[in-house]
Amino acid sequence: MDTVHQVSVGNKIKNYYEVTKPKIWYLLVFTAFGAAATASFLFDRPLDPMTWALLIGGVAAGSAAADTLTGYNDRDIDAIMERTKGRPIPSGRITPKNAFIFGVTLAAISLVCAWFINPLAFGLMAFGLFDNIIVYSKWLKRRSQSNIILGGFSGGAPALIGYVAVTTQSLEIGLVMAGLVFLWIPTHIWSLALHVKKDYNKAKVPMLPVVSTEKSSVRVIAGTTIMMVVFSVLPFFFNQFGLVYLATAGIFGAAMIAMSVWLLVKPSEKASWTVFKFSSPYLTALFIAFMVDAYLKPPV
């Protein structure tokens, strides 16, 4: 009996963990950590352990809340798509009511954590939650192909929260780090949408590859990738980052452009999947380079 109970509890924990879509929030938490560490190194302002805990815990809770509540909003279309029908809510492993309560609880935790960091972090956390759950998932996802654009602001919020947790000095650096995530989202999401176009079509979700031709879609993806890579070089001209960051942005950016050109010249599921899969390591590498370069540079 005890073994059965333990298995049941373990499965419940696993289901609630899965409903937060950890593969998404891991990266967002890392951008918050990377931005905070970068600001700390640049301006010699180390964070105390409590602030670190509030930052990492708050961004993790906020990102997990957004993913849980967007899953709650999307439970009907998730049940239609092959890629998502096995998720905890559409598969019946978690009831919609329990998912909603869990998501709201996580959102409340994230806002409390952000409030104890500072009011600006609180405002950014609230904005991120609203943009992702309401603007993107509730208002735009099923109505407009601009859903990813207007809903993408929330993706940059964690990086900016991490930066302002340390300082508001040279805020343009934090804004550029957040902007980099914002510009990364279209390439990341649209390349995935192209790969699973049939699913989105079946669920009548107007993602770019559904409402546009394949030729037009790959052109847009290539264009957004080039914009992202060009933008990624901008921090080098702030005189805060050196050759480590520039080399990383150049090498990984060239790889991203090469993959996008491959997709443009020879559109295929394999090419779109490759662009999607490489985009996360690309963003991770840039934030590692931010931290390394900031650490190597003498404090301002």
**Secondary structure (H, E, C), 125-136:** HHHHHHHHHHHH
Give pLDDT tens digits for 21-78: 999 999 999 999 999 999 999 999 999 999 999 999 999 999 999 999 999 999 999 9
pTM of the complete model:
0.94
Domain ranges of the chain: 11-296
Provide, rounded to the nearest whole percent, the portion of the chain with pLDDT above 70.
97
- Dihedral sign for Cα 292, 168, 284, 53, please: positive
* CA-closest candidate to residue 225, choices 155, 151, 278: 278
Three-state SS at 142: coil
Q: Are 149 and 186 in contact (CB under 8 A)?
A: yes
Please tell me the class of the 11-296 domain.
mainly alpha
Helix or strand (DSSP H, E) at 65: helix 49-73
Q: Are 14 and 77 in contact (CB under 8 A)?
A: no
Q: Are 166 and 36 in contact (CB under 8 A)?
A: yes
State the pLDDT at residue 4.
Answer: 44
Give pLDDT tens digits for 174-233: 999 999 999 999 999 999 999 999 999 999 999 999 999 999 999 999 999 999 999 999
Under the banding of pLDDT at 50, 70 and 90, the label for residue 238 is confident
